[in-house]
């Protein structure tokens, strides 16, 4: 179905070094942000910059009142992104499927940011 996911490449100097997306998989009114950066490029703020750009765009879409980021509990780098962007951790839950990547423990951390938190806070998420 059109408009279910918005996928983007993250590039540096023309080379694709990661990806990011807005996905309609958390129910009506919500979008989930996903991101992945090649290990050679982590720790440089690229995932945070990509997520901040997606967050700004998410709230320009009609009917969107919340944005979430989900990650495995042991993935501290992924968890740092929503923390920097002022998301609130709302839940930790066991994933229904087995861990899908090496080192995962199968506990999903869910972070959420509501439209009003951006409107009333700053015009720059994480800024």
Q: Quick: pLDDT tens for 18-53.
A: 999 999 999 999 999 999 999 999 999 999 999 999
Domain assignment of residue 101, yes or no = yes
Residue 95's SS3 state is coil
Query: What is the residue range of 105's domain?
Result: 5-120
Confirm whether 54 is domain-assigned: yes
Q: Where are the beta strands (DSSP E) in 51-105?
A: 66-72, 88-94
Q: Judge whether 26 lies within some domain.
A: yes
Considering only CA atoms, which of 5, 10, 87, 20 is closest in space to residue 41? Answer: 10
Residue 109 within a domain: yes
pTM: 0.84
Strands (E), 1-127: 5-12, 15-23, 30-37, 66-72, 88-94, 107-114
CATH number reported for the structural domain that contains residue 59 in this entry: 3.40.630.30
User: Considering its fold, how many domains does the chain have in total?
Assistant: 1
Per-residue model confidence (pLDDT) at position 119: 54
Q: Would 125 be classed as within a structural domain?
A: no
pLDDT of 125 over the 90 cut: no
Query: Residue 126: inside a domain, yes or no?
Result: no
Mean pLDDT of 107-121: 81
Count CB neighbours of 62 within 10 A: 4
Count Cβ atoms below 10 Å from residue 67 Cβ, excluding itself.
28
Indicate whether 127 belongs to any domain: no
Considering the domain boundaries, does residue 15 fall inside one? Answer: yes
Measured CA to CA, the distance from residue 97 to residue 59 in angstroms comes to 30
């Amino acid at each position: 179905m059109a408009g279910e996911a918005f996928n983007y490449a993250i590039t540096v100097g023309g080379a694709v070094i990661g990806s990011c997306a807005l996905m309609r998989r958390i129910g009506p009114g919500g979008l989930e942000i996903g991101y992945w950066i090649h290990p050679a490029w982590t720790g440089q703020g690229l995932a945070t910059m990509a997520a901040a750009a997606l967050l700004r765009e998410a709230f320009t879409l009609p009917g969107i009142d919340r944005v979430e980021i989900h990650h495995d509990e042991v993935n501290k780098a992924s968890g740092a992104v929503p923390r920097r962007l002022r998301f609130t951790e709302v839940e930790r839950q066991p994933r229904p499927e087995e861990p899908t990547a090496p080192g995962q423990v199968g506990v999903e951390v869910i972070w959420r940011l509501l439209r009003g938190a951006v409107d009333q806070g700053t015009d720059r998420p994480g800024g």
